[in-house]
Amino acid sequence: MNEVDFVASVVTALTGDEHCYEVDRRADDKGVLLTLYIDSQHMGRVIGREGVTANALRSLLWALGTRNNAKYGLKIYKRDD
């Protein structure tokens, strides 16, 4: 499973909607930046109270990165409706 599929499966499990987000992947010499664009009505579920869920997702990406010898970053933005 690649990092985009991983983020997509976690966000789908959190929101119950596989059409409420987009994941963009950009790689450079520092690592891979994943940008998650999510609908505003699902933003709270993905970020969580005080950012706990988003930080947990970042921690899981870090663990995936250690397995793949890569560095992953995650940014979360509201998707334009």
Domain residue spans of the chain = 3-78
* Intervals of the chain under pLDDT 50: none
- Note whether 79 and 41 are within 8 A (CB): no
The fold of the 3-78 domain, in CATH, is GMP Synthetase; Chain A, domain 3 (3.30.300)
Give the pLDDT score at 65: 92
Output the pTM of the full model.
0.91
Give the pLDDT score at 81: 62
